[in-house]
């Protein structure tokens, strides 16, 4: 267990800066998930912590000691790779024992540790096998075993589940969480999968183009996204965004279509007349009688998922200064109960659940103050 402190971490390849100064304090035993779209710098960030990439500027400290110039092996960390990176010519046992052997541990202790890790991961019967004789999930476990036996201060996971099928992914996700809880080892986990991010993390780091957009608990990130990017990235289907502006008295926002939405709980006094992006989660819209509607949805497509029915379309009259709605940009999705009887082409009258508005500055994309 170790605390990690990262200050103003930057990385450049030649003249191109890919990570623009990240600050984060990670407590001992915390499970941190770094999530973001591909190319946002999340893997580079992890690899810098691992010591596989040199740090351009800033510091990484583990338990108070800067490790910028410490070799990976001396950082006392273990990493699980996306491709598992098992040594193909070694048995499962030797794969797990390799690091310990190099560290010069006595054979009896190596064996004991490997046996213990194998038992924990239900790999005991596979110890004499070669990686190619194992299934994807088993290989994944061996990769984790290799990390566990070292008993490191920090675990690093680089998209460890992305090569598994959906069902196995759910199972391994639970196992990783359970394992991390029982070992209590500080963990950094990189993924582009928001479900993994939400379910595993004590705290999330949402990254976008080399910047940490938001660092907070999953629920806080979900309920109070710090920017349009975070709001759009976390949640499926994604949050709906409508253009509008703050009304003259500062207690509501007006959509381009003319509908006025009350902004309870937001202090918008200083922002009157400001152009805003209004975010509404699909589950915060419900069907109402036409007279009570905040907005009207012209349904274009319906997805029935069983438990829910998703209706996709565009808000009538919200086509940005009268233009025809852009299918991609102005799409509005609504999560309705699974038994909803709706048809394509229908118009749905929708009301926004009280207090479930998210307001962002239209120009910067940052969240406005909501107390």
Partner 1 sequence: MIEKRGLASAVPHIILILGIAFMCFPIYLTLVASTVTQEEIVHPPLPLLPGPHLIENYKDALFSGVNVPVMRMLFNSLVMAMAIAVGKIAISLLSAYAIVYFRFRFRMLCFWTIFITLMLPVEVRIVPTYEVVAQLNMLNSYAGLTLPLIASATATFLFRQFFMTVPDELFEAARMDGAGPLRFFKDILLPLSTTNIAALFVILFIYGWNQFLWPLLVTTDPQMNTIVMGIKQMLPTADDWGNWPVTMATAVLAMLPPIAVVVFMQRLFVKGLIETEK
Residue 241: name the closest of 135, 309, 342, 320 by CA: 320
Question: Least Å distance between CB 81 and partner 1?
Answer: 5
CA–CA separation, 264 and 170 (whole Å): 38
Which residue pairs, CB below 8 angstroms and at least 24 apart, start in 317-323? 317/256, 317/257, 317/258, 318/242, 318/243, 318/255, 318/256, 318/257, 319/256, 320/243, 320/256, 321/256
Beta strand spans in the chain (E): 4-13, 16-26, 31-35, 57-62, 65-66, 77-80, 154-158, 186-191, 203-208, 211-216, 240-246, 252-255, 260-262, 275-280, 285-287, 295-304, 308-315, 331-337, 347-352, 358-361
Name which of 75 and 335 has its Cβ closer to partner 1. Answer: 75
Q: CA–CA separation, 27 vs 140, rounded Å?
A: 27
Q: What is the DSSP letter of 9?
A: E
| The residue count for the chain | 371
Output the smallest distance, CB 331 to partner 1, in A.
38
Cβ atoms 257, 295 nearer than 8 A? yes
Closest approach, Cβ 88 to partner 1, in A, equals 5
Name the residue nearer to partner 1 (CB basis): 50 or 333. 50
CB 201 within 8 A of CB 33: yes
Between residues 77 and 276, which has the closer beta carbon with respect to partner 1?
77
Residue found by looking up tokens 């207090």 in the block: 355
**Which residue, 81 or 254, has its beta carbon nearer to partner 1?**
81
Q: How far is the CB of 71 from partner 1 (least distance, A)?
A: 8
Q: How far is the CB of 150 from partner 1 (least distance, A)?
A: 8
Coil, strand or helix: which one is 287? strand
Instruction: Measure the CA–CA gap between 186 and 205, rounded to whole angstroms.
Output: 15
Is the Cβ of residue 12 or residue 236 nearer to partner 1 in the bound state? 12
The smaller minimum CB distance to partner 1, of residues 135 and 326, is found at 135
Output the CA–CA distances (angstroms, integers) from residue 349 to 1, 181, 285, 286, 304, in the order listed: 53, 46, 10, 8, 19
Which C-beta is closer to partner 1: that of 68 or that of 304? Answer: 68
Shorter beta-carbon distance to partner 1: residue 103 or 275: 103
| Shortest separation between residue 152's beta carbon and partner 1, angstroms | 9
Least distance to partner 1, CB of residue 202, Å? 24
CA distance 338 to 341: 9
Nearer to partner 1, 83 or 267 (CB): 83
Q: How far is the CB of 85 from partner 1 (least distance, A)?
A: 4
Cβ closest to partner 1, residue 133 vs residue 267: 133
The DSSP secondary-structure symbol of 368 reads: P
Least separation, in Å, of the C-beta of 78 and partner 1?
6
Q: Where along the sequence are the contacts to partner 1 (CB under 8 A)?
A: 50, 52, 72-73, 77-79, 81-89, 98-99, 102-103, 130, 132, 146, 150
Distance CA 161, CA 158 (A): 9
CB of 44 to partner 1, least distance (A): 13
> Which residues on adjacent β-strands are paired with residue 366?
227
């Amino acid at each position: 267990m170790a605390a990690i402190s990262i200050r103003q971490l930057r990385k450049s390849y030649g003249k191109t800066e890919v990570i623009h100064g990240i600050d984060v304090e990670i407590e001992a035993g915390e499970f941190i998930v770094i999530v973001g779209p591909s190319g946002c710098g999340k893997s580079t960030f992890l690899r810098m912590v691992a010591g596989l990439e040199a740090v351009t500027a800033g510091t990484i400290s583990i338990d108070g000691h800067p490790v910028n110039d410490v070799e990976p092996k001396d950082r006392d960390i273990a990493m699980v790779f996306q491709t598992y990176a098992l040594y193909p010519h070694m048995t499962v046992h030797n794969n797990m024992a390799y690091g310990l052997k190099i560290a010069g541990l006595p054979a009896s202790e190596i064996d004991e540790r490997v046996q213990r890790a194998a038992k924990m991961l239900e790999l005991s019967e596979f110890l004499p096998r070669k990686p190619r004789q194992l299934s994807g999930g088993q290989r994944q476990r061996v990769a984790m075993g290799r990390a566990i036996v070292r008993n490191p201060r920090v675990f690093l996971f680089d998209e460890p589940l992305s090569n598994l099928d959906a069902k196995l992914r759910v199972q391994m996700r639970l196992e990783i969480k359970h394992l991390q809880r029982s070992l209590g080892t500080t963990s950094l986990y990189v993924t582009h999968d928001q479900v993994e991010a939400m379910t595993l993390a004590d705290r999330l780091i949402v990254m976008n183009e080399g910047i940490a957009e938001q660092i907070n608990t999953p629920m806080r990130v979900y309920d109070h996204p710090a920017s349009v990017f975070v709001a759009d990235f976390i949640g499926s289907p994604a949050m709906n965004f409508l253009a509008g502006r703050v009304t003259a008295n500062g207690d509501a926002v007006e959509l381009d279509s003319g509908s006025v939405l009350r902004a309870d709980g937001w202090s918008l006094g200083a922002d009157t007349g400001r152009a805003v992006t209004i975010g509404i989660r699909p589950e915060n819209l419900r069907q109402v009688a036409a007279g009570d509607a905040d907005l009207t949805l012209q349904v274009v497509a319906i997805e029935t998922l069983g438990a829910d029915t998703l209706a996709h379309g565009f808000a009538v009259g919200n086509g940005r200064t009268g233009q025809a709605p852009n299918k991609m940009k102005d799409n509005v999705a609504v999560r309705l109960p699974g038994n909803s009887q709706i048809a394509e082409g229908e118009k749905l009258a929708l009301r926004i659940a009280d207090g479930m508005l998210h307001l962002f500055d239209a120009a910067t994309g940052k969240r406005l103050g909501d107390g």
